[in-house]
Structure 1
Amino acid sequence: MRQVVLDTETTGVDWKQGHRVIEIGAVELLDRRLSGRHYQQYLNPERPSDPDAIRVHGITDAFLQDKPRFAEVAEEFLAFIAGAELIIHNAPFDMGFINHELRRASRKPIAPPVLDTLVDARRRHPGQKNDLNSLCRRYGVDNSGRELHGALLDCEILAQVYLAMTGGQVDMGLDTGKEIHGGAAQTMAPMPGGPALRQSPLRVIAASAAERELHRRYLAGMGEGACLWPQDGSD
């Protein structure tokens, strides 16, 4: 199964008001594992960004002046996402912008399948905050480098959140994340792109010699043929 985690940064909040995409980020998942392949492209939007938008992503108009227009990179972008299920947090926002850019470039809009992790998170955690930072805290995903929004960085973080959110129960902080074998503490192997897996070991208590002898006598008292298993504990 091939999936692509997708995110954009834009000049403002509404493409219907003429705002444009200034960065595309995408990260590939193959069979729920990060493949190492990613796509990132900064774009010249041919218009200034709103001051509020710059405060969010930190991408200045001057930085974007020499970057390509969307139409110039549309082919390579579409090739990267071709045949994949898209994973997007708040999909209507990003899909609205991407499809607007595609229409401007005389390309067909992207059709589903699209998985919206915001919708999924709200279903799993009703009444709670489900923005990306909140999900990182809930699922133990490191977002310490996310001082500003960035399309590729947010894709990498969202990929880990998605894998953790859809891969099992949330860690409720009731264990130490260690597994004990012969007195040595060992961290469980992490799932690629996700938090460490945690599993409590099965405790096995062996019977003492005295207990085994009492058990043998009890079985002997049941009479010949009453017991179908060996009475000496050999099996």
Structure 2
Amino acid sequence: MRLQGKIAIITGAGQGIGAATALKFAREGAIVAACDLNNDAVTRVADACREAGGQASAFCIDMSDRARVDEMVATVREQYGRIDVLVNNAGITRDARLQKMTLEQFDAVIDVNLRAVFHATQAVADHMVAQRAGVILNASSVVGIYGNFGQTNYAAAKFGVIGFTKTWSRELGPKGVRVNAVAPGFIDTPILATMPEEVLAKMRAQVPLGRLGKPEEIANIYAFLASDEASYINGAVIEASGGMTL
């Protein structure tokens, strides 16, 4: 198992890519601290990790609340003695065209998709540097690279995450900490499940592979990047979009 004994904090673990990542990590031998704002959902995910033979604990937490983030990180360190991996996956959407977007919509997405990434990473950075080892994995998006209609806030946050990744890989790399990002395309998550079929058909038509991605496919990338197999990968942004941006 590639992640045997590694202590991994995974945010946004209640559903979709985060849930798939938590389960994948647990199956690969990691001890998972699953974090999500939805207590019932993240508890179910932690239970599923244990049922799969792994170890997991659930934290109901708003990742944009720095005090709660610090408390969670301290609890994980006290319980397990170290933190090996952080997956910054928590994210939301509040879509609207530029002229219609409210400050509340803009701020909500920036708080969760960008500010929370800063909070969590800053909270674990000193511990990883002291260990001279650690992996930080950030969820970006193809929207952060190419933009998307109606997603000013989301695009800004996801492009910012790429900036975080590039900067932190330079700052922390010499101290033994690798920082990388994954930029998924259209992934079959609960958010997309609410969309009309005609919209989904148009989305699939943009992808050369002819389908949406699966959360498990993104989880597989995170597991690889967290493992020693990726020990020379630092500062990378891996696009997983089925070729939609070709």
TM-score by length of 1: 0.27
Query: Which is helix-richer, 1 or 2?
Result: 2
- Structure whose CA Rg is larger: 1
